Structure 1
Amino acid sequence: MKILRLFIIKKVMGVWKINKIDPFKAAELFILRRYPNCHGAVLAGSVIRGEATETSDLDIVIFDKSLTKAYRESVIEFGWNIEVFVHNLSTYKDFFKSDCERARPSLPKMVSEGIVIKDTGIIQSIKQEANELLENGPEEWSAETIKVKRYFITDALDDFIGCTDRAEEVFIANTLAELSSEFVLRTNGKWIGTSKWMVRSLKNYDEIFAGKFVEAFDIFYRNGDKNKIIMMIDDILQPFGGRLFNGFSLGKD
């Protein structure tokens, strides 16, 4: 009954709604109810960065020495959508490693920026591991990897330039945005992202460039003008030899 009193229920346009309680209080109650014996927990995500929206959820990372394997679960409690990432004291290391290998350090970032909700003396060292990984950045691309990436960007760009079907153009543009943003970030030693994190990663690298990148694709999506995208991608590739097609080979002995 005490928990129920934390909700504010009101009627909006004929529909009864439950207002969300404070996210930190919700996280504390969630851990107390679901993981009372865990050894550590941090609250991460948009709410702790001050970027929460109406649809934001709570990202909670749990550390429990007694677990045999890691898992992820999504629930709704205390008025919040909650995504919980549960680890023991070795599984998180595997996730740290795989996240860094793909250059999208989701778990290290959550742990690094997360606010401690519960700690029995383990969180500081785990945060230090995460911070060191983030500061080191992703593994540098080899010359061969850059060559392969140039080829696939060129291939998509050629399709984009020659395409006259609006529906197909839209999805080729999506592919170009992903490939070209990855190329810019990785060749500059930066972490990458997907969806909203693509833009955030570009802004972390260079806000001016990120603005031009978004503008180029926005113009195309609004009026079909491809020129800014084409020029931008040529500028991105130019320092590495420009577009690549003739003479490219993959897997040949």
Structure 2
Amino acid sequence: MKEIKRLEPLQAATQFIFKHYPHCQGALLAGSVVRGEATHTSDLDIVIFDENFTSSFRESLIEFGWAIEVFAHSLTSYQAFFKSDCKRARPSLPRMISEGIILVDNGIVQSIKKEAAQLLEKGPEKWPEETIRLKRYFISDALDDLIGSSNTGESLFIANTLAYITHEFVLRTNGHWIGDSKWIVRSLNNYNKSFSKEFVEAFEIFYKTGSKVKVIQLVDKVLAPHGGRLFEGFSLGKE
């Protein structure tokens, strides 16, 4: 079978737009290739704006030697995604649009990019004290489960949960966006590279050796400014 030549990312994205969406009002190339973080498994993330789309949709294709992810929107549908992304504090679409390289712009993309950048700069909604207290309790509970666990398999997945909710806590209480999967570390780096390194090392030591000491120290450090671990006196839903 003849091998398909892989075009350069910008060239591939541009040809893809001309082939499939020649009449769109706007298009952007985003993702890891734009940030200079691409690996051999990276795909091309392409955001498209077209006034003829009746709804937003996502599509995956392989063309020009690339796996291509299409994020398609009308000229207004993206706003609902901006809103939901901000509510969950994971600004996937605003980040793609803000950092994206413009492929097509019939007078609408620059304003949408500005809107996205303003959302990113503003940061997520501040947690109320009630939410902080609730999150402290769940982190404390997961930490206690990890400390008391003697089952290796259970401990691995308790640690997974603890890593996620701890990263969420430290970022949200400091007014920063959170992440998921690889974006957990990226979001921690955006907040504080030194703390991110400490965070990764603590869980890496646990996964490699089973030692929980660094994880316990890390979680206690994160909780300390907000009153430390919480169990006694916690109540939820009581009339």
TM value normalised by structure 1: 0.93
The one-letter code of the counterpart of 2:102 is: V
| Aligned partner of residue 61 in structure 2, secondary structure | strand
Asked if the contact 2:48–2:70 (Cα under 8 Å) also holds between the matched residues in 1, the reply is yes
State the superposition RMSD in angstroms.
0.9
Q: CA deviation at 1:17?
A: 3.9
- 1:184 paired with 2:202, answer no
Which of 151, 166, 182 matches 2:152?
166
- 1:194 paired with 2:177, answer no
Alignment gaps of 5+ in structure 1: 1-14
Hey, what does 1:7 align to over in structure 2?
Answer: none
Which of 18, 21, 27 matches 2:7?
21
Which of 131, 134, 157 matches 1:148?
134
Structure having greater relative contact order (Cα 8 Å, sep ≥ 6): 2
Which of 3, 14, 19 matches 1:33?
19
Partner Cα separation in structure 2 for residue 205 and residue 124 of structure 1 = 27
Which of 44, 67, 72 matches 1:86?
72
Asked if the contact 2:5–2:64 (Cα under 8 Å) also holds between the matched residues in 1, the reply is no
Partner Cα separation in structure 1 for residue 139 and residue 4 of structure 2 = 48
Which of 197, 217, 223 matches 1:231?
217
Return the index of the structure with the highest Cα Rg.
Answer: 1
Asked if the contact 2:124–2:175 (Cα under 8 Å) also holds between the matched residues in 1, the reply is yes
Hey, what does 1:220 align to over in structure 2?
Answer: 206
Corresponding residue pairs, total? 239
Q: CA deviation at 1:92?
A: 0.3
Asked if the contact 2:89–2:177 (Cα under 8 Å) also holds between the matched residues in 1, the reply is yes
Q: CA deviation at 1:18?
A: 3.3
Q: CA deviation at 1:36?
A: 1.1
| Aligned partner of residue 69 in structure 2, secondary structure | strand
Hey, what does 1:205 align to over in structure 2?
Answer: 191
Hey, what does 1:117 align to over in structure 2?
Answer: 103
Identity of aligned residues (%): 63
Which of 112, 117, 123 matches 1:131?
117
Q: CA deviation at 1:16?
A: 5.8
- Runs of at least 4 residues off by over 6 Å: none
